[in-house]
Amino acid sequence: MNYIFPKLKVASENDEITSSKIIQLIDKLTEEINLEKDEFLYILNNITEKEITYLNKKAYDVKYKHYQNRVYLRGLIEISNHCKMGCKYCGINYKVKTIKRYRLTVDEILECCKSGYLLGYRTFVIQSGEDSYYTDELLVDMLKRIKEEMPDVRVTLSLGERSKESYQKLYDAGTDRYLLRHETASRRLYEYLHADFMSFDNRRECLSNLKEIGYQVGAGFMVGSPTQTNEDLVEDLVYLKELGPHMVGIGPYLCHEDTELKGNDSGTLSESLAMVALVRLILPKVLLPATTALGSLHTIGREKALKTGANIMMPNISPTENRALYEIYQNKICTTDTSNQCRNCIEGRIVGVGHVIDLGVGDHIDIERVTDNDR
Ligand code: SAM
């Protein structure tokens, strides 16, 4: 396990002064919804399991205040594992030769949406490697068909970096939300984790463009990626506060042995959960998924995330035969289940930790919905 918080690594307990300073900082953060950089850093450098328990409880209370114990469900469709990008941590990046590549047609995507609709889902998250097959024209056609057949749903796209014009066309065609994790707000770490032809500035520009166009925007980052430091994680908090996204996806880095980063340790559950909690405290109304990566790292990783700041789950509705091929990291959960099985499993997990499923569209609570007619 790649521990970044030094005191967790040695499983030590703080002396009373350090512990009470961390608790005071967590209280200050809850009240003022922000801290100075050095205060965030103090927390990360000194926190132990005892204060993490306190932090998680504070985040749970803030989530409860805004969303109670409701968990929004999003039907996730992984439409293609073709990717032209070079994210060195990702098992579907263009250099990986060991996987069989697949992509879904618009008809197949529509079928997934319809089956998800019957299971009650009213948001579809359509995610993919960066695959040039999905031109604007093809996606516009797909979006129109989804919205015509199921006018009461929200569509989230997560297709990576595209031009502002392309984002605009997809928005005009009915896309409601866009997920594009910033991956890390540290330029050094971004450049270490990505191929030379990828650009830290462009990723950020994409996020600003998406916001400017009017999307509900999701950013996010991995915890425990190779060479990541607490300073890097503080940059993530500062950047997210500045960007003010509607959603933030946070998960542990999970090592994939067929990538350039093979042999590295994966991120840890405690640290990932602590980051989920901190993000809930800096962005109290944000939508925060209990990510599949958390569930893949630990059997009840997602349930633990619900017990802190998370309020979204994303059951998979991709065709079962393709799921194992969308192997961004190894030992990914839900790769052999049918969509029905995922639905039942997720509901059981949610109810098991005292939450309830909410089958509404699940917009961010500050969103006044721009209807498709207003576009
Ligand atoms: N291509 C789109 C993009 O870049 O935004 C969406 C698909 S991409 C595979 C979705 C997310 O998977 C990335 O943003 C990244 O954070 C996460 N991911 C990829 N490889 C991972 C790994 N080894 N461990 C944890 N998360 C990973």
CA of residue 329 to ligand 1 center, whole Å: 9
Average pLDDT over the chain, rounded to an integer = 96
Per-residue DSSP letter, 374: G
Cβ neighbour number for residue 348 with a 10 Å cutoff: 9
What is the pTM assigned to this prediction? 0.97
Residue range 193-243, pLDDT digits in tens: 999 999 999 999 999 999 999 999 999 999 999 999 999 999 999 999 999
pLDDT at 364 over 60: yes
Q: How far apart are CA 357 and CA 343, in angstroms?
A: 11
pLDDT at 347 over 70: yes
Q: What's the pLDDT band for 371 if we cut at 50, 70, 90?
A: low
Q: Which of 18-27, 161-170, 330-339 has the lowest average pLDDT?
A: 330-339
Q: Is the dihedral of CA 7, 10, 11, 15 positive or negative?
A: negative
Residue 1's pLDDT is: 86
Residue 132's pLDDT is: 97
β-strand 75-80 against 312-313: which pairing, if any?
unpaired
Question: Within a domain: residue 296?
Answer: yes
pLDDT at 375 over 90: no
Per-residue DSSP letter, 103: B
Residue among 130, 207, 328 to mutate when testing ligand 1 (max atoms within 8 A of CB): 328
pLDDT at 12 over 90: no
pLDDT at 286 over 60: yes
Number of structural domains found in the chain: 1
Chain-centroid distance of CA 79 in Å reads 17
Question: Within a domain: residue 325?
Answer: yes
Question: Within a domain: residue 146?
Answer: yes
Q: What's the pLDDT band for 158 if we cut at 50, 70, 90?
A: very high
CA of residue 20 to ligand 1 center, whole Å: 37
Which 3 state secondary structure label does DSSP give 161? coil
Which residues, other chains included, contact 75 with Cβ-Cβ below 8 Å and sequence gap of 6+?
Answer: 112, 113, 116, 119, 121, 123, 124, 125, 314, 315, 316, 317, 339
Question: Within a domain: residue 347?
Answer: yes
Residue 373's pLDDT is: 56
Cβ neighbour number for residue 364 with a 10 Å cutoff: 17
CA of residue 328 to ligand 1 center, whole Å: 7
Question: Within a domain: residue 180?
Answer: yes
pLDDT at 365 over 70: yes
Region 152-178: mean pLDDT is 98
Q: Which of 29-33, 145-149, 370-374 has the lowest average pLDDT?
A: 370-374
| C-alpha closest to that of 305 among 339, 355, 234 | 355
CA of residue 104 to ligand 1 center, whole Å: 19
Residue 296's pLDDT is: 97
Q: Is the dihedral of CA 63, 66, 71, 77 positive or negative?
A: negative
Residue among 81, 87, 94, 180 to mutate when testing ligand 1 (max atoms within 8 A of CB): 87
Per-residue DSSP letter, 135: -
Q: How far apart are CA 302 and CA 51, in angstroms?
A: 20
Residue range 126-157, pLDDT digits in tens: 999 999 999 999 999 999 999 999 999 999 99
pLDDT at 125 over 90: yes
- Ligand 1 contacts (CB < 6 A) are 89-90, 127, 129-130, 158, 160, 180-181, 183, 222, 251, 253-254, 256, 293, 328-329
Both structure tokens of 303 = 């349930």
Q: What is the CATH number of the domain that holds 162?
A: 3.20.20.70
Question: Within a domain: residue 277?
Answer: yes
Question: Within a domain: residue 183?
Answer: yes
Longest dimension (CA), the chain: 61
Q: What's the pLDDT band for 370 if we cut at 50, 70, 90?
A: low
pLDDT at 275 over 80: yes
338-343's contacts with Cβ under 8 Å and 24+ in sequence apart are: 339/75, 339/112, 339/115, 339/116, 339/119, 339/315, 340/119, 342/315, 342/316, 342/317, 343/119, 343/120, 343/315
Per-residue DSSP letter, 197: T
Residue 235's pLDDT is: 98
Residue range 102-118, pLDDT digits in tens: 999 999 999 999 999 99
Domain extent, residue 119, equals 62-362
In the chain, beta strands by DSSP E: 70-73, 75-80, 123-128, 154-158, 177-179, 216-223, 247-252, 312-313, 356-358
Residue 11's pLDDT is: 84
Question: Within a domain: residue 52?
Answer: no
Q: Considering the chain, what percentage of its residues have pLDDT values greater than 90?
A: 95
B/e letters for 13-23, b = 16+ CB within 10 Å, e = fewer, are ebeeebbebbb
Residue 201's pLDDT is: 98
pLDDT at 372 over 60: no
pLDDT at 265 over 90: yes
